[in-house]
């Protein structure tokens, strides 16, 4: 009996030892896997970085060798052509007008699209998919591509730029508006519908008041982007100060080019200051209310 008891104890000890060994092996294996996973992303990033450097032919030596040429180019721009400053004010104002009209038209298009794309407002799943497809398409296609299309359709000038900014802005504003609508408190909506209000009335009286601060912030942010984008669109003939910039570059009027860059800097800073002031004023009032 004692021999059997000792045999049983030996077997039990052996089983416990095997279990502890398996646990230790499992823990060490998990540690190895976690260690490997920890280095997977950095290694992949490094490999992709090296591959991109090789494929694009990026060279620090070429960059250093190009410094004298850059210095000569910048030297040709000084001093600025201050006599061209006043005539360039009109194209600068046109740039701001393009950004403003493009943003206004984008808001007019984005609000209904966002209402149809929001999960808590859309009338059906198919309508939501259609609205989100519009948002995805307008966000995917660059604004400069829209500008090239509209330039070929209606000719040179600010109109193609306005249309390109409006269409492309729907992709961003529609997405941000829809997300803001989906985050509204359903309580006011249910309360308005409980007293017999229709869907549109519920949206007007319960949804829009809640999302107004978010809409304002998103719209002003998009206006800042459109001011910069309108300058770039001018390079393809869509009007504004960007068109004057590309013409100065083509005609080698480097002094005038520097003047245009100074005006662009002033325009961007003024638009950013105005947007921040309006945002602080409107959103500040909403907070106080």
Q: Look over the chain and give the mean of its residue pLDDT values, rounded to a whole number.
A: 83
The number of domains in the chain is 2
Domain match, 96 and 158 both = yes
Domain match, 44 and 109 both = no
65 occurs within a structural domain: no
Q: 171, 140 in Cβ contact below 8 A?
A: yes
pLDDT at 36 over 80: no
Domain match, 110 and 42 both = no
Residues 120, 121, 126: CA angle, nearest 5 degrees: 95
Q: What is the pTM of this model?
A: 0.77
C-alpha to C-alpha distance for 113 and 116, rounded to whole angstroms: 5
249 occurs within a structural domain: yes
Task: Count Cα neighbours of 228 within 13 Å in the Cβ-side half-sphere.
Answer: 9
Domain match, 190 and 49 both = no
214 occurs within a structural domain: yes
Taking Cα atoms as reference points, which of 236, 228, 217 lies closest to residue 269?
Answer: 228
User: DSSP class of residue 204?
Assistant: I
Domain match, 19 and 119 both = no
Range of the domain at 277: 80-288
Domain match, 85 and 210 both = yes
Q: Residue 7 — pLDDT band, cuts 50, 70, 90?
A: very low
Domain match, 137 and 192 both = yes
Domain match, 227 and 101 both = yes
CATH code of the domain in which 100 resides? 1.10.3720.10
Q: What's the pLDDT tens digit per position in 104-142?
A: 999 999 999 999 999 888 888 999 999 999 999 999 999
Q: What's the pLDDT tens digit per position in 53-102?
A: 889 888 888 888 888 888 888 888 888 889 989 999 999 999 999 999 99
């Amino acid at each position: 009996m004692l021999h059997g008891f000792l045999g049983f104890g030996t077997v039990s000890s052996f089983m416990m030892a095997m279990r502890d060994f398996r646990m230790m092996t499992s823990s060490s294996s998990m540690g190895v896997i976690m260690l490997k996973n920890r280095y997977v992303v950095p290694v992949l990033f490094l490999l992709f970085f090296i591959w991109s450097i090789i494929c694009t032919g990026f060279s620090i030596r070429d960059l250093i060798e190009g410094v004298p040429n850059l210095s000569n180019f910048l030297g040709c721009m000084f001093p600025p052509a201050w006599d061209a400053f006043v005539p360039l004010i009109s194209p600068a104002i046109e740039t701001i007008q393009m950004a403003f009209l493009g943003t206004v038209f984008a808001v007019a298009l984005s609000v209904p699209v966002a209402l149809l794309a929001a999960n808590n407002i859309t009338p059906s799943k198919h309508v939501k998919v259609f609205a989100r497809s519009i948002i995805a398409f307008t966000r995917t296609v660059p604004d400069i591509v829209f500008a090239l299309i509209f330039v070929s359709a209606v000719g040179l000038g600010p109109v193609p730029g306005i249309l390109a900014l409006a269409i492309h802005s729907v992709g961003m504003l529609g997405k941000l508006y829809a997300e803001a609508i989906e985050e509204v408190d359903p309580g006011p909506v249910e309360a308005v519908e409980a007293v017999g209000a229709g869907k549109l009335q519920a949206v007007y009286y319960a949804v829009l008041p809640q999302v107004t601060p978010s809409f304002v912030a998103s719209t002003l942010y998009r206006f800042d982007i459109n001011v910069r984008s309108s300058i770039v669109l001018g390079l393809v003939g869509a009007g504004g100060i960007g068109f004057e910039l590309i013409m100065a570059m083509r005609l080698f009027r480097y002094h005038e080019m520097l003047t245009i860059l100074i005006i662009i800097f002033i325009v961007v800073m003024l638009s950013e200051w105005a947007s921040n002031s309006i945002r602080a004023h409107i959103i500040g009032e909403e907070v106080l209310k």
